[in-house]
Structure 1
Amino acid sequence: MIKVIWLLRRADHLTLDEFRDWWINNHAHLVASEQKSQLRGYSISVRSSDEDALAGRPNSDTDWDGIAEQWFDDGDAFNAVYGRPEAQVTRSDTDDHVSRLSRIIVTEHTYIPMSVTSASERVQS
């Protein structure tokens, strides 16, 4: 299985709220419907705010407003989605809403799986 992480920076003409609305309410649905035959998983994470006041903040601001994660069985499944002419529809939609796009193809290593219980509840048990 391969995982592809897409990094997106919103277009200059969009506020963070407009970018979030486009991605959550439009683009994510387009991707899911166009690529569902090959996708094993798909999630998006959009920046919560333009301000980062949490502990551990790096010295420089981030270049990205969100990430998308996609899981495919293999490179052939990925190419079956992105190598077909219909893929241009989602890419054009992306290009209209982002100023910068990059991707990383990774192998995922999970050390603590997502849980339905909170971290404090797990520590107490």
Structure 2
Amino acid sequence: MSFPAEKKYLKITLCLNKLDHLTNEEFSEYWRTTHADLALSNKTFTDRCRRYNQHHATPETKEIARSFGNPTLDFDGIAEVWVDDLEAWKEISADQDFLEKILPDEKKFIQHPITVMLGYDYTVVGEKAPR
């Protein structure tokens, strides 16, 4: 049995920790609104990005995860940016507006360095990514 070809998007996973002086609520609110709006105002980002997800962790969800008894990731959030290929991500990352506005804005709420992972999703349950 063969399966139809599925479009494979490159997924850039950015694991984030908030600045120490921010509460979880302040971090989450800023990231979800101000920073996301700034990203969406960048033409290269909106033209080249296929999906942008934010995963917000709370102290409560982290504690629940720890209660399962497995090792856990201790990040405050994870951003997922889906692009067609590595060239698209390089184009976003090199965009002058991105470098002048979005990158400096990260320093207002995110600790650096950011942990990064690149890979591809294989949908097992749920809707597959559009082609």
Query: Taking structure 1 as reference, are residues 46 and 57 closer, same or farther at Cα in structure 2, changes over 3 Å only?
Result: farther
Does 2:24 correspond to 1:11? Answer: no
- Give the number of equivalent residue pairs: 112
Q: Whole-Å Cα distance in 2 between the matches of residues 99 and 14 of structure 1?
A: 11
1:14 CA drift (Å): 0.4
- Unaligned stretches of 5+ residues in structure 2: 1-8
Pairing 1:16-55 to 2, within 5 Å after superposition: 16-34=24-42, 35-47=45-57, 49-51=58-60, 52-53=63-64, 55=67
Flag as ranges the 4+ runs of structure 1 deviating above 6 A.
none
Hey, what does 2:119 align to over in structure 1? 106
- Cα distance per residue 1:43-75 (max 9 Å; x no partner): 10111x21323552435x633100111111111
RMSD: 1.7
- Unaligned stretches of 5+ residues in structure 1: 115-125
Q: State the AA in 2 paired with 1:99.
A: Q
Question: Percent identity over the alignment?
Answer: 25
Q: Whole-Å Cα distance in 2 between the matches of residues 72 and 90 of structure 1?
A: 18
Hey, what does 1:122 align to over in structure 2? none
| TM-score under structure 1 length normalisation | 0.80
